[in-house]
Structure 1
Amino acid sequence: MSTRRGGHLSGRHPLIVLLTAVTLLLGVGAVPAHAAPDEGGSKKLRDALESTAKGHIEAKNKLDASKKRQKKLSGELKTMEERLGGLTQQVSEVAAHSYRMGRLTAPAMLLGADTPDAFLDRVASLDVMAQRDGKRIRDMVDARDEANEAKRKLDAEVREQQKQVAVMANKKKQAERALAAVSTGSSGGFSGGSSSSARPAPRNSNGSWPGESCSVNDPTPANGCITPRTLNMLQQTQAAGYKRYASCFRSGGSGEHPKGRACDFSAATNGFEDRTATGGDKSYGDNLAAWQVRNADRLGILYVIWYRQIWHPGTGWRAYSGSGSPAADHTNHVHTSMY
């Protein structure tokens, strides 16, 4: 019995060795490193970061649009004022001439005609003079009204800009309050990385971001859906040279991952390793984070978290601490959330 059992085990041993070798060769043992990181953080914090970043971006878009309208209106007002100045001068000259010479009355002009033909000529001349002078006055009044309307619109744009600046300031305060529990204040952020500029994601005609759903296939191994804007961010990040392992969609939980509006970019070449990045891996994450922040407005990025720091459009870089693990502190991956 023991011989059969030993023979049976002996017969299986080469197969076990072979399967083990194939497993190592194919990298199956590396699969756990590719699992999505447990980033920690409360739902309240993630919701606050999302809402304040969106509020800041929307206010900035409105501010930028208002500045464009103001620039256009300023040009129109300058043209109108120049035209009004010319028309006012013409009307003033007519008035001054009438004051000096006395207004030529119709009876006096007509009585001076000594023939029927001359009478008709003077009737026609009176009509031309009346139309000319009347048109000058009407044009002057219209130009003055248009200039006043342009000034009114300019004043409205100034008030709109003041309103949006106040909104942005309020969103900044809200974001700072939300981050207070996990932040110790401002930080240096990151620099360097690719100098390339991202291809901008499509915007509405007024400069705002269109609403998008989780509607396109996630090309990362996460195997889910993401928004078209998230896909563009992912593709542009990879096109800039950041091609290490990434994962976007994640089912369940709060935040942007389940909505297809976030991606995690591994610092290590082999996936999400449970260790703090150092050396070349740290430099890779630094450069990636810096590049994304420089292109945040083009891509529609809400915020970026990397290496115990978070970039928010309203606050800039701030210190950020999780629960102490590489995933929660984001020291093994860059997290990018999208509008």
Structure 2
Amino acid sequence: MAATLPGRAKHALALLAALLVLLVAPPAHAAPGGDDEGGSKTLRAQLESAAKGHLQATQKLEASKKRQVELKAALKQAQEKSAGLEGRVKEIANRSYRQGRFSTMAMLLNSSSPDAFMDRMLRLDQMAQVDGHALAQYEDAVTVAEKATKAIALEIKEQQKQVTVLAKKKQQAESALAAAGGGAVAGGFINANSPLARPAPRNPDGSWPREGCTVNDPTTSGCITPRLLNAYQQARAAGFTHYTSCFSRRDSGEHPKGRACDFAAAPGGFENVNATGSDRTYGNNLAAYFVRNAGRLGVMYVIWYRQIWLPNTGWRSYSGSGGPAATHTNHVHLSIL
């Protein structure tokens, strides 16, 4: 009996050691965690403000340019219409000057018969109606032209304002990245052959609608926004099917808002190593896909392999301190507006 105890003890210790390994070692699918995902809370807030401000200013600038084109077309049409009526207006003015009210009455009184009187009166009435219509059209055309000219001037001021906003937001993003030890212009991940994604819905004016965490996250038991769901689905349809995790409970960042996903570079999940070979190529292509479709998907920023892409800066250096999760060398991070 006593001889068998050491064997049982060894077996129990082996089982205990195995359990400890399983408990300590994170599974391959474990998502990058902590509140440092995407940098500090302050940095994330600055980047979000810069990206959102840039996109809002861009939308307003494009809308203003569109209105200016429409106003110029209206101005041209009004000017052409008024020019075409100028001859008619001059003719009416000259006739009124030559004849005046007395001559008009004389024409009626000199009628040879009651029928002739009525005929002349009807003709004068018709002429007055035609003249009145022509004068009204001319006045309307001139008014439209004047209003269009003033509106174009206002649109030019609006465009100048938005260009200033764009410059400030770009500086804000660059300053925030520089304060975090990054921000240098980087080579980035660009692929002109990346497939085009199906655009997410926009408001009639071209802006992005406000969205909450209202749809089920297909990668976790949490929730995400409809716009992020579209980005996730479009990425998978384009062939990017490696393990992905979106919603997670954290103190800050986009993940708890349902506006961010982490896409593992390795097929099996988030490995605690820097991606190399085909895994790194996969990450390069996925990052390039999101950048090419940023305007279609509503991308706020993309982080991959010590670089970050924002709509107002392009690819810049960006490196957190720590392992592959913090430096984003084992997964592509996507944040959606």
Fold-level similarity (TM above 0.5): yes
Greater shift after overlay, 154-163 or 278-287? Answer: 154-163
Query: Aligned with 2:335: secondary structure?
Result: strand
Q: Deviations over 1:95-141 (max 9, x none)?
A: 35666xx3262133123311121112112122122222222112211
Quick one: which of 32, 38, 52 aligns to 1:37?
32
CA 1:112–1:210: 2 relative to 1, 3 Å: same
Alignment partner, residue 57 of structure 2: 59
Unaligned runs of 5+ in 1: 21-26
Q: Deviations over 1:28-78 (max 9, x none)?
A: 999622212147321100111111111111111112222222222222222
Letter in 2 for 1:123: M
Greater shift after overlay, 111-120 or 43-52? Answer: 111-120
Alpha-carbon distance between aligned partners in 2 of 1:9 and 1:254, rounded to the nearest angstrom: 47
Alpha-carbon distance between aligned partners in 1 of 2:306 and 2:26, rounded to the nearest angstrom: 26
Alignment partner, residue 5 of structure 1: 5
Length-normalised TM-score, structure 1:
0.88
Alpha-carbon distance between aligned partners in 2 of 1:170 and 1:211, rounded to the nearest angstrom: 24
Alpha-carbon distance between aligned partners in 2 of 1:118 and 1:53, rounded to the nearest angstrom: 79
Alpha-carbon distance between aligned partners in 1 of 2:23 and 2:290, rounded to the nearest angstrom: 32
Alpha-carbon distance between aligned partners in 2 of 1:193 and 1:162, rounded to the nearest angstrom: 31
Letter in 2 for 1:48: Q
Alignment partner, residue 214 of structure 1: 213
Alignment partner, residue 203 of structure 2: 204
Letter in 1 for 2:32: P
Q: Per-residue deviation at 1:169?
A: 1.1
Query: Aligned with 2:274: secondary structure?
Result: coil
Quick one: which of 271, 274, 282 aligns to 1:273?
271
Letter in 2 for 1:174: Q
Query: Aligned with 2:261: secondary structure?
Result: strand
Q: Per-residue deviation at 1:176?
A: 0.7
Alignment partner, residue 103 of structure 1: 99
Query: Aligned with 1:135: secondary structure?
Result: helix
- Aligned-CA RMSD value: 2.5
Q: Deviations over 1:205-226 (max 9, x none)?
A: 1111111111111111x33111
% same residue: 56
- Residues 193, 286 of structure 1: 8 Å contact kept: no
Quick check: 1:123 aligned with 2:118? Answer: no
CA 1:315–1:8: 2 relative to 1, 3 Å: closer
Letter in 1 for 2:333: H
Length-normalised TM-score, structure 2:
0.89
Alignment partner, residue 140 of structure 2: 142
CA 1:119–1:62: 2 relative to 1, 3 Å: same
- Residues 174, 183 of structure 2: 8 Å contact kept: no
Q: Per-residue deviation at 1:233?
A: 0.6
Quick one: which of 302, 305, 317 aligns to 1:304?
302
Alpha-carbon distance between aligned partners in 2 of 1:128 and 1:193, rounded to the nearest angstrom: 67
Alpha-carbon distance between aligned partners in 2 of 1:6 and 1:325, rounded to the nearest angstrom: 41
Letter in 2 for 1:303: Y
Alignment partner, residue 287 of structure 1: 285
Alpha-carbon distance between aligned partners in 2 of 1:289 and 1:298, rounded to the nearest angstrom: 15
Q: Per-residue deviation at 1:308?
A: 1.0
Quick one: which of 79, 88, 91 aligns to 1:90?
88
CA 1:184–1:142: 2 relative to 1, 3 Å: closer
Q: How many residues align?
A: 325
Alignment partner, residue 24 of structure 1: none
- Residues 193, 288 of structure 1: 8 Å contact kept: no
Letter in 1 for 2:257: K
Alpha-carbon distance between aligned partners in 2 of 1:328 and 1:9, rounded to the nearest angstrom: 41
